[in-house]
């Protein structure tokens, strides 16, 4: 009698971040405005990953926002609502927030996240120098700064230890050559190999191993799509990955159907770089909005909430209102909406459930149609 054997993919290791264990070492990247809200975050958490609610301009599609002066109070109420809804769907999952340092209500969003008992807070678009202060009332909330270099990680860790006697619970490195949304380097530094995951992640991993006995796990983001990419990240020294674009075309993603279909129809030639009013380059999908922007046409340029610390739309009247543009696309209006994306997002060919994405990654092969 002849027996046949089938090869199997080794299981992915769990990821410990502070007091929280991810059964699957995947954190879902935060995608504003309301692209990753309670629906996507809870679905990812139910599969053993870290679900992330993006807090930036969360109120714009909520019942709490009516006009400009309501914006900041409405953001608080909207975040509280999203956490309540997420916990109803995933009472035991690991759920956190992404809070942009560059927004004016950064401190408020962090403090509200803590009050909502967020399991983790991921912070990018600037160095969160005072994050431990804002989150001090709940030490069990893990703090994950996003950094673009070993130098930034060292600087932040030294400052936190000196002022707050606390280390980061993990670092997220976002590869600017592949990541979506706001990128942590200037335009002239884009596509330079020295800023890539292949170079920076081993530096961060070696530093964490030597200085902190591997107790600050490194999580890599940007260009992570399948099991092969995750295995490569582990080979570089990462302990986990952050994935955002991979979840865009899921039924649970909180964006409009038009938003998702734009990726299914897109090709690699549809990835563009825009100059954000926040002063950073951003990777986006080519839409009627970006085409109007590039040819110098009229786009939404009225600042309605002064949401950013620095904003060239508000201060210099030079560009568009990014909150309005991102909100429009999330609501399905591509004529006047900006869609942030990573380079891999054009690989979407169909809609999937989050569970199928996880099964595909864990098994190392595509899920059936």
Question: Is the bond preceding residue 202 a cis peptide, omega within 30 degrees?
Answer: no
pTM, entire model: 0.91
| CA 252 – CA 101 distance, rounded (Å) | 27
| CB contact set of 94 (below 8 Å; sequence gap of 6+) | 20, 21, 22, 45, 49, 50, 51, 119, 120
Q: Directed axis angle between helix 227-236 and helix 197-212, to 10°?
A: 50
263 CB-side CA count, 13 A: 31
CATH superfamily of 15-255+348-363: Aldolase class I (3.20.20.70)
Q: What are phi and psi of 15, to 5 degrees?
A: -125, 120
| pLDDT tens, residue order, the chain (369 aa) | 444 444 578 999 999 999 999 999 999 999 988 899 999 999 999 999 999 999 998 988 888 888 767 888 999 999 999 999 999 999 999 999 999 888 888 999 999 999 999 999 999 888 999 999 999 999 999 999 999 899 999 999 999 999 999 999 999 999 988 888 878 777 878 787 888 999 999 999 999 999 999 889 999 999 999 999 999 999 999 999 999 999 999 999 999 999 999 999 999 999 999 888 777 888 999 989 889 888 777 766 666 666 655 655 455 666 777 788 888 899 999 888 899 999 998 999 999 999 999 999 998 877 665
Q: What are phi and psi of 299, to 5 degrees?
A: -130, 165
Residues of the chain with CATH 3.20.20.70: 15-255+348-363
- 303 neighbors 321 (Cβ within 8 angstroms): yes
């Amino acid at each position: 009698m002849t027996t046949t054997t089938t090869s199997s993919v080794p299981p992915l290791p769990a990821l410990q971040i502070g007091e929280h264990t991810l059964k699957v070492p995947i954190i879902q990247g935060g995608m504003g405005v309301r692209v990753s809200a309670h629906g996507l975050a809870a679905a990812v958490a139910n599969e053993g990953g870290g679900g992330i609610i993006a807090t930036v301009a969360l109120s714009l599609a909520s019942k709490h926002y009516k006009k400009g002066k309501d914006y900041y109070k409405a953001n608080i109420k909207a975040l509280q609502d999203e956490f309540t809804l997420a916990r109803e769907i995933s009472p035991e999952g690991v759920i956190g927030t992404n809070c942009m340092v560059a927004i004016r209500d950064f401190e408020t969003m962090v403090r509200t996240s803590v009050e909502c008992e967020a399991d983790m807070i991921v912070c990018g678009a600037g160095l969160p120098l005072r994050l431990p202060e804002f989150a001090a009332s709940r030490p069990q909330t893990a703090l994950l700064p996003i950094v673009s270099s070993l130098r930034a990680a060292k600087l932040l860790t030294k400052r936190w230890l000196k002022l707050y006697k606390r280390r980061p619970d993990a670092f997220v490195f976002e590869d600017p050559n592949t990541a979506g949304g706001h990128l942590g380097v200037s335009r002239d530094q884009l596509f330079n190999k020295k800023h890539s995951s292949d170079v920076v992640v081993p530096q961060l991993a070696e530093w964490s191993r030597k200085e902190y006995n591997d107790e600050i796990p490194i999580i890599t983001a940007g260009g992570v799509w399948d099991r092969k990419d995750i295995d490569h990240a582990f080979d570089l020294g990462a302990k986990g990955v952050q994935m955002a674009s991979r979840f865009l075309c899921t039924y649970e993603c909180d964006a409009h159907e038009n938003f998702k279909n734009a990726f299914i129809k897109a090709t690699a030639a549809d990835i563009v770089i825009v100059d954000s009013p926040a002063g950073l380059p951003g990777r986006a999908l080519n839409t009627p909005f970006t085409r109007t922007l590039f040819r110098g046409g009229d786009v939404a340029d009225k600042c309605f909430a002064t949401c950013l610390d620095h904003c060239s739309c508000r201060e210099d009247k030079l560009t568009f209102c990014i909150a309005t543009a991102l909100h429009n696309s999330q609501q399905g209006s591509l004529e006047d909406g900006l869609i942030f994306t990573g380079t891999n997002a054009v690989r979407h060919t169909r809609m999937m459930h989050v569970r199928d994405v996880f099964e595909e990654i864990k098994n190392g092969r595509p899920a059936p149609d």
